[in-house]
Structure 1
Amino acid sequence: MSQRLRRTRHTVAAAAVTAALTLSLAACGSGSDSGSGSGHGSGMAGMEHSAMPSPSASDDSMASMPGMEPAAAGDGLAAEKSGYRMTARSAGLPAGKAAGYRFGITGPDGRPVTRFAVDQTKRMHFYAIRSDLTGFQHLHPTMGGDGTWTAPLAALRPGTWRLYASFVPDSGAGKGKSFVLSRTVRVPGTATASPLPKASGTTTVDGYTVTVKGAPMAGMAHQLTATVTRNGRPVTDLQPYLGTYAHLTAFHQDDLAFAHLHPETEADGGHGGPTLSFHAEFARSGDWRLFLQFQTGGTLHTTALTLHVG
């Protein structure tokens, strides 16, 4: 195992123990466990991965604005933790069209943070999820010289969305520590909620079948395994994606609490699969929505399923 992977797992384990990251799972944009989605043109509703940015601005003193609601530290629901704050001027985004969401991270000294460590090949991971846990997006924004990040969100459906920034400072008091901060935004229009699909260990996307196994219990570390097959045959041509062969994110049904389930191995070639292992810790019981991303033939696939944690 490489030094980079050991360092990543050490950071994640420490964050899980001290912050008790939780998960919240929601329906795919199609409202079912079947569908297709990728970052390169597949059509799974609510699973977009690219968009064109639009102008906005950031602000470093927005604690009382909408989207800065208090929540328990460590579950991704707080806008501020240990002096680090996610800031943004806009509390809303347009419906039905791509928009660039601009935000910043300020440190304990109140100044913009501009130095970030690489975590799974990126300096910033950004996620969007609707309140009914549909419309999942996982993006990698770009940072301007002043520390302002721009996340190119694909078109959003009306409703309330929570936006998460996952990062590791490379300087200051929080150097080397993992943070997940979030804000909410409102997208205007009539919002119709999709029901959460029932818990199931199997889902499909773009002709691939993904089976997740494990019996997680709240408050305990467990291993989850995901196996990818196609037409009943094991898939062994998974390509590296963010330094590994799959990326797994989860959200809790009740409050959209966040957890990033880290892979236990890193990619060492272009022929991964069919079985992938993840380190998972769930802070409380209930239904969670898992979003699994993997790449084949240059296409990114995103699928989802509901997992019950005892």
Structure 2
Amino acid sequence: MNTGLKITAFAAAITATFGTAYGVGKGIGPVVADKQPAEHAAHGEAKEAEAAAGGGHGGHGDDKSAPAAGGLQISEGGYTLALENPRVTTGDRTQLRFSIQDDNGRKITAYEREHGKELHFIVASRDLTVYRHLHPTRAADGTWSTTADLPAAGAYRAFADFKPAKKDAGAITLGADLAVSGNYTPAELPAPAATTNVDGYDVTLTGGLLPGKSSELQLNVAKNGKPVTDLQPYLGAYGHLVALRSGDLAYLHVHPNGEPDDGTTKPGPDISFTATAPSPGTYRLFLDFQHNGKVRTAAFTVEAGKAKAGTEADVAKQEQESPGHKH
């Protein structure tokens, strides 16, 4: 493919992506986390804007009044995610630089630490086949930088999940579009499956997402047919889960029911989460877990409101019990 054709294909891919995101975003409601605190609501935004695309970091509240998930807006509550290089090339050492800026364009340098980090930075391709949970470093002037392995060209979304060190400031998740140049071929979303294998580990998902109701997602980790009972803490938990909705990539960030050293939570093989989906739809779940000093990511496709084979009884039970998020 010559250079002119590459540029044309790239521009067409970006245009198609923006159109898809707009259409899907208007067609279905945003993802919500079970019981999210009021402080996580958007600051200084009209109620209509909050309902359409509010900030969202998994937390506590009730299903009827839970605010929208984050990542749908580049600016919220007086903060903006500013990517210094929104167009990059593919590769295993792709450089990414960004900052969080206030309404006056000043870079933010003070953050509250959440789950061991000042800021969580996630990059996912629009087709949800590439997912990276990155740990950028912050310079004194407020500029964050990191490298990423982005193996495929196309449209991506970058998410910054943080809490400003400011009185009465809540947690915020901002999202910005990232374009990776090159020959672009969109991939189909993997079909729903109860088990996936990553780096020799078999991870099995039990339960499902329920529209408008809290439900438990339990993940079991095994290797060579044996349960893994010595998972290591990662970001203050035995597992870290992010859910992204197919289409607009609305972002839901939750943590397990229980934590290390709480006297009841075991280091595997099971890790459970509680979450709520607002409506039927397709979601991609990404579980980060650590074992033998290395973090792996297991991914699942889930149809909200549809039970997987063999788990119908589990979903029906969840509908009746609606367990709380023990965080």
| TM-score relative to the length of structure 1 | 0.74
What is the rounded CA distance, in whole Å, between the counterparts of 1:281 and 1:287 in structure 2? 13
Q: Deviation of residue 73 (structure 1)?
A: 6.7
1:138–1:262: structure 2 CA closer, same or farther, 3 Å change rule? same
Question: 1:212 corresponds to which residue?
Answer: 205
What code does the residue aligned with 2:191 have?
K
Question: 1:83 corresponds to which residue?
Answer: 78
- Tell me if the contact between 2:109 and 2:142 (Cα under 8 Å) persists in the aligned partners: yes
Unpaired runs of 5+ residues, structure 2, are: 1-32, 43-49, 59-66, 306-327
Q: Deviation of residue 20 (structure 1)?
A: 7.7
Larger RCO (CA under 8 A, 6+ residues apart): 1
1:81–1:73: structure 2 CA closer, same or farther, 3 Å change rule? farther
What is the rounded CA distance, in whole Å, between the counterparts of 1:291 and 1:16 in structure 2? 24
- Tell me if the contact between 1:156 and 1:187 (Cα under 8 Å) persists in the aligned partners: no
What code does the residue aligned with 1:258 have?
Y
Alignment of 1:23-42 (within 5 A): none
Aligned partner of residue 247 in structure 2, secondary structure? coil
Alignment of 1:232-247 (within 5 A): 232-247=225-240
What is the rounded CA distance, in whole Å, between the counterparts of 2:143 and 2:132 in structure 1? 20
- Structure 1, residues 202-244: CA drift from partner, whole Å, max 9, x if none? 1111222111122321232222111112233221010111111
What is the rounded CA distance, in whole Å, between the counterparts of 1:172 and 1:256 in structure 2? 30
Alignment of 1:45-64 (within 5 A): none
Q: Deviation of residue 110 (structure 1)?
A: 4.2
Question: 2:177 corresponds to which residue?
Answer: 184
Alignment RMSD: 2.8
1:22–1:222: structure 2 CA closer, same or farther, 3 Å change rule? farther
What is the rounded CA distance, in whole Å, between the counterparts of 2:37 and 2:200 in structure 1? 34
Q: Deviation of residue 108 (structure 1)?
A: 4.4
Question: 1:139 corresponds to which residue?
Answer: 134
Aligned partner of residue 98 in structure 2, secondary structure? strand
More helix by share: 2
- Tell me if the contact between 1:120 and 1:243 (Cα under 8 Å) persists in the aligned partners: yes
- Between structure 1 and structure 2, the one with the greater Rg is 2
1:249 aligns with 2:242: yes
| TM-score relative to the length of structure 2 | 0.70
Paired residue total: 252
Question: 2:294 corresponds to which residue?
Answer: 299
Aligned partner of residue 219 in structure 2, secondary structure? strand
Q: Percent identity?
A: 37
Unpaired runs of 5+ residues, structure 1, are: 1-8, 24-71
1:196 aligns with 2:189: yes
What code does the residue aligned with 1:272 have?
P
- Tell me if the contact between 1:86 and 1:182 (Cα under 8 Å) persists in the aligned partners: yes
